[in-house]
């Protein structure tokens, strides 16, 4: 075994490296959605669309992934294709980095994994689809995403979490851990591809500048170390009917039980099966909300950099 004495696990693309040096707005993007969340070819198309959406809104996209022994922060077109077509990619959450780096496997980073990398890279803003949470049936299946939200100070833009999870328990956990749940133009916690109507967020903020100001208070003025979870609802024209989602999720959940699927395999199975059972409707809605989140994250990153440049925060 030989580890280079100056081995640094993070490897930046030239563009992201320059952007960070010049303090340009950057948005981190996760890659479990590419490796495990969507089928081919939608996964590659979506990854490219999310990157374009970030650019159209004035920021630079840094897709995070693990490849060839490095945590890549920003990947180029051919690397993106390699990731989307990887035959047996791993799902990299916090405990999986060491295995993936030392064994040089190709992996998609989860919300927790991407938060870790983004924070280490000095990127504050991150966009994803939905976060993991507390599962309903397996009492100890609590996503590492929640642990990461409790302890890694990044701003995560999402559409809440799926209804198949125990959403009240997920929100209780976030409250216990001091994680603000910000509703962007909503006072209800979004339920991924369904418009959330049940559970309250901790604060509603309606424009990116207000969110930047909030982040400044949370991290800089008060010195908090938790993440800020910014949630927006799926666009109503792409939302899934709640009963359709519930039926499909109940069926997927039954199969998960019967087949004895556990741990990291639960979420990918559930997403894939619900997509089949809804004839692709859930997947289209998933894709739309991901792009929408990339757009909001870029606007927040732009507002944050402008405030920093003006020394307003
Ligand atoms: N929830 C979704 N879509 C996803 C995921 C969660 O609606 O793609 C992915 C994210 O990458 C998230 C991970 O971080 O699954 C959570 O997996 P687990 O529950 O095994 O921690
Ligand atoms: Mn889990």
Domain coordinates in residue numbering, the chain:
10-309
Task: Write down the pLDDT at residue 138.
Answer: 80
Protein residue with least CA distance to atom 10, ligand 1 = 110
Looking at ligand 1, which atom is closest to the CA of residue 143?
21
How many angstroms separate the alpha carbon of residue 33 from the centre of ligand 2? 15
- Tell me which of 3.90.320.10, 3.40.50.1820, 3.40.1790.10, 3.30.200.20 is the CATH number of domain 10-309: 3.40.1790.10
Q: Which of these ranges, 10-14, 115-119, 148-152, 163-167, has the smallest mean pLDDT?
A: 163-167
Active-site residue flag, 288: no
Q: How confident is the model at residue 216 (pLDDT cuts 50, 70, 90)?
A: very high
Task: Write down the pLDDT at residue 139.
Answer: 77
How many angstroms separate the alpha carbon of residue 303 from the centre of ligand 2? 34
Is 183's pLDDT higher than 90? yes
Kindly report the backbone phi and psi dihedral angles of residue 10, in degrees, each rounded to the nearest multiple of 5, phi listed first.
-85, 130
Task: Write down the pLDDT at residue 312.
Answer: 85
Is 302's pLDDT higher than 90? yes
61's CB contacts (< 8 A; 6+ apart) are 26, 27, 29, 50, 51, 54, 55, 74, 294
Q: Tokens 């490095």 label which residue?
A: 70
Q: Which ligand is nearest to the CA of 160?
A: 1
**Tens of pLDDT, residues 241-270:** 999 999 999 999 999 999 999 999 999 999
Q: Do you know the residue count of the chain? A: 313
| Residue 157 Rama label (left phi>0; alpha psi -120 to 50; beta) | beta
Burial environment of residue 35 by CB neighbours within 10 A (0 to 12, 13 to 18, 19 or more): buried
The bridge status of strand 60-67 relative to strand 70-73 is: antiparallel
**Tens of pLDDT, residues 16-43:** 999 999 999 999 999 999 999 999 999 9
Who surrounds ion ligand 2 at CB < 5 A? Answer: 141, 143
Alpha helices in 196-311 (DSSP H): 208-215, 242-259, 266-277, 281-309
Task: Write down the pLDDT at residue 4.
Answer: 84
Please say whether the beta carbons of 239 and 286 come within 8 A.
Answer: no
Residues near ligand 1 (Cβ within 6 A) = 30, 32-33, 37, 93, 110-111, 129-130, 132, 143-145, 162, 192, 264, 267, 271
Which of the residues 8, 91, 104, 162 is marked catalytic? 162
Protein residue with least CA distance to atom 11, ligand 1 = 110
Distance CA(302)–CA(138), nearest Å, equals 40
Active-site residue flag, 175: no
Distance CA(208)–CA(185), nearest Å, equals 10
């Amino acid at each position: 075994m030989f580890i280079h004495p100056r081995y640094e696990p993070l490897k930046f693309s030239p563009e992201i490296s320059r952007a960070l040096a010049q303090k340009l707005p950057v948005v981190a993007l996760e890659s479990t959605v590419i490796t495990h969340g969507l089928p081919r070819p939608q996964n590659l198309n979506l990854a490219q669309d999310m990157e374009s959406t970030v650019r159209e809104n004035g920021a630079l996209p840094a897709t995070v992934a693990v490849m060839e022994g490095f945590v890549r922060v920003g990947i180029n077109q051919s690397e993106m294709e390699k990731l989307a077509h990887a035959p047996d990619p791993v799902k990299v959450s916090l405990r999986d980095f060491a295995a993936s780096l030392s064994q040089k496997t190709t992996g998609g980073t989860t919300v927790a994994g991407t938060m870790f990398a983004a924070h280490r890279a000095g990127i504050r803003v991150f966009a994803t689809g939905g976060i993991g949470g507390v599962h309903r049936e397996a009492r100890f299946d609590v996503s590492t995403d929640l642990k990461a939200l409790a302890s890694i100070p990044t701003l995560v833009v999402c559409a809440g979490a799926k209804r198949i999870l125990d959403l009240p328990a997920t929100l209780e956990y976030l409250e216990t851990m001091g994680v603000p749940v910000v509703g962007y133009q909503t006072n209800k916690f979004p339920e991924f591809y369904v418009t959330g109507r049940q559970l309250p967020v901790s604060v509603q903020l309606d424009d990116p500048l207000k969110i930047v100001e909030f982040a400044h208070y949370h991290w800089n003025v008060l010195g908090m170390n938790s993440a800020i979870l910014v949630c927006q609802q799926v666009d109503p024209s792409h939302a899934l009917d709640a009963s359709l989602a519930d039926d499909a999720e109940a069926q997927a959940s039954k199969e998960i039980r019967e087949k004895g699927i556990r741990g990291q395999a639960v979420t990918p199975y559930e997403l894939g099966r619900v997509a089949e059972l809804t004839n692709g409707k859930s997947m289209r809605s998933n894709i739309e909300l991901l792009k929408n989140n990339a757009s909001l994250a870029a606007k927040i990153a732009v507002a944050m950099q402008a405030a920093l440049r003006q020394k307003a925060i």
